[in-house]
Structure 1
Amino acid sequence: MPSAKMPLQFQSATTVPLSDHERISQTITPENVGRALSALHRDGIVVLSNAVDIEHVDKLNSILSSEAQIMAKLPTTHFNDNSSDGKPTGNMSQGPPLKPELMYEDIWANGPATTVISSILGPKPHVNYVNGNTALGGFNGARQNVHADLTFNHGLFPFAFVTNYYLVDTSPANGSTEIWLGTHRDTSFADHKNCVEDASGDELKFGIKEELLEARREYAPPIQGEVKRGSVVIRDLRLWHAGLCNPSPEPRIMLAFVHTPWWYQCPAKVVLPEAARELVEGWSKRDAPVVYDAHFVPADLDHTKVVFNPNFSSANEGYLASLPDLPRGFVFGKDERGKMNA
């Protein structure tokens, strides 16, 4: 934690408004890159507004919102119910459609967002995770534990960013995320409850240690902001945050794409239909390229049954050897490496 516990100068997430030209051309000016990078380094999060075609957002929301209640009843659906008392939060994983005609480039490979991320992570960031987060309507009171999306020992510098696309205007009235600004700058795996030798994959046990939350709350309390649909939110994966309940009647849907550097060697693969190969591989050849580490399968894929596998780990032995001397932790889900437990 910082030695000087002074109130943060900034207690709201920075929004960088993009021009219509930037949105249509999927470019971003150097000035807006500078604004976005300054906010990301300082706060761990930035919002690029007017980044996505509203028609694309509304089309996806129409599809996914109509499926939300059906998905909530499927045994294959993963719920993010890591609340302190174990009560349901109404927070579930719901990924985007996997038909090529619905895999919009300004969401799957957003030019302004990729340019900003590449300015920190280096060229051609890799995407190994595609999913979404839905706050079902009609929930009151229950909330997630404050956490970072990391359950394992990790670096003390930027190594992963998630882009989030809210499909509706989002505020505290329908479950916007609680954010602890600046926590990415001085955190490590030691701040997590499951930083122990016998860590398991029990979601109820993961999150930031309570004493650290109370200490930080004294000088930098969390915020719950507002995001307009058509925006892209870029967040450092180390940032502390929590999903809050959605008391409104309609689901609040947010898509998520995790980016890591080209050298990071995350073992996870995004499972995609063969029909999307040409589209996806074409994105890596653009001016602001993004590379999907994908496993293509010949059949159509039902996006409502995508397996929840948030594996953001690295297989780069040089990087792993330089990590702090802490327990390794674990990775949710299974892949070719299995769990990271020692």
Structure 2
Amino acid sequence: MPSATAPFDFQEPTVVQLSDEERTTGQMTIENIGIAVSAMHRDGLVVLENAVDTSHMDAINTILVKDAEEMAKMNSTHFNGNSVDGRPTGNMSQGPPLDPELLYEDIWANVPASAVLSAVLGPKPHVNYVNGNTALGGFGDARQRVHADLFFNHAQFPFAVVANYYLVDVSPANGSTELWLGSHHDTSFRDHRNCHPGGRADTPPEEIGKDGEVVKGELEFGIRDERLEARRKFAPPMQPTIKKGSVVLRDLRLWHAGLANPATDPRIMLAFVHTPWWYACPARVVLPASCQEKVESWAARSQHPVQYDAHFVPASLDHKKVKFDPNFSSANQGYLSMLPAQLGSGYVDDVSKY
């Protein structure tokens, strides 16, 4: 039996328990880095526990919980529906506050996480996306389709990792994310519902393709049902329990799904997407100029630097109105030339509809 489809004997996320010294100094032991890097390659995900000062998470959570009710009523708020039956899931995009004093380094440029990211992606990874994900209560059993956060042809090696920060303890009781551990191993763009070999994923229904064939457009976002059922037989999904103060590193290729939040309070998770220095992602994080000195200091630090591909603007920014723009594509033509051309490029121009 191929190793990619062998029954798993590990069905829970690997948790690396950091000591208080590792958290405060940022110096992970080489053994813990070894565990974390191995888990990233094997499972596509690792949890670094006790990596963040929980008082920082509490401060941000207090602000965002208050904002969540307001944002849920705003026309500009992006809701991550993507459900099988079209029902609303209560899953909305909600980014962190952008005031300089609230850009905590152990969230925006966490040193233990950066050590693992540098080992997986190479030195000085770039951050191209900052946002968050909130699961509101009161939406019954609605859920997202299983998906990976990709809309385009992509590599079959680690090229993007998201660092997630749950601002509270999470479990199935308040809508932790469904995870398909190890699904990043043998997946490609071919597994995505919006992949159309020989054409783009935004092809309108019944449009004539470039070779004269009729191409049926499929704008649904998610992993194809047959691939899910094949994997479910030997590696079914699970819903983790994760402590506040943790950093969850997830390979962007990993299959997952947002599930309903049975609790009353919103479950809020921040998201920072990292790509290799050579990847040349065109996306930029828009930040106020008042943050520039702090953000650029993280790139200049000698210990595990983090480079933000940022566009700094002179005005203050309302974090409640940050545009949802999950563009994780690459502009590196050499890299793109190595992808399987028969799968098409995918949809990289405007993915906000998803």
TM-score calculated relative to the size of structure 1 = 0.95
How is 1:249-260 mapped onto 2 (pairs within 5 angstroms)?
249-260=264-275
Structure 2 equivalent of residue 308 of structure 1: 324
Structure 1 equivalent of residue 16 of structure 2: 16
Candidates 199, 202, 208, aligned match of 2:201 = 199
Partners of 2:68 and 2:27 in 1: CA distance: 33
Structure 2 equivalent of residue 68 of structure 1: 68
Structure 2 equivalent of residue 339 of structure 1: none
Q: Deviations over 1:51-86 (max 9, x none)?
A: 000110000000001110100000110000000111
| Preserved CA contact (<8 Å) 1:154 1:323 | yes
Q: Provide the identity percentage.
A: 67
Q: Deviations over 1:233-287 (max 9, x none)?
A: 0000000000001010000000000000000000000000000000000001121
Pairwise CA RMSD: 1.8
Amino acid at match of 1:268: A
1:146 aligns with 2:139: no
| Preserved CA contact (<8 Å) 1:128 1:268 | yes
Inter-CA distance 288–122: structure 2 relative to 1 (3 Å threshold) = same
How is 1:263-278 mapped onto 2 (pairs within 5 angstroms)?
263-278=278-293
Q: What are structure 2's unaligned runs of at least 5 residues?
A: 204-216
Tell me which stretches of 4 or more aligned residues in structure 1 moved more than 4 Å: 1-4, 201-204
Partners of 1:258 and 1:251 in 2: CA distance: 22
1:223 aligns with 2:238: yes
| 1:268 alignment partner, SS class | coil
Amino acid at match of 1:199: A
How is 1:46-195 mapped onto 2 (pairs within 5 angstroms)?
46-195=46-195
Structure 2 equivalent of residue 328 of structure 1: 345
Partners of 1:193 and 1:239 in 2: CA distance: 15
Partners of 2:19 and 2:51 in 1: CA distance: 8
Q: Deviations over 1:272-307 (max 9, x none)?
A: 000000000000112110000000000000000000
| Preserved CA contact (<8 Å) 1:82 1:203 | no
Partners of 2:3 and 2:55 in 1: CA distance: 47
Residue 137 (structure 1) shift: 1.4
| Preserved CA contact (<8 Å) 2:54 2:244 | yes
Candidates 313, 316, 320, aligned match of 1:297 = 313
Report which of the two structures shows the higher radius of gyration computed on alpha carbons: 2
Structure 1 equivalent of residue 211 of structure 2: none
| 1:223 alignment partner, SS class | coil
| Preserved CA contact (<8 Å) 1:308 1:333 | no
TM-score calculated relative to the size of structure 2 = 0.92
| 1:183 alignment partner, SS class | coil
| 2:164 alignment partner, SS class | strand
| 2:185 alignment partner, SS class | helix
Residue 120 (structure 1) shift: 1.3
Candidates 239, 258, 261, aligned match of 2:276 = 261
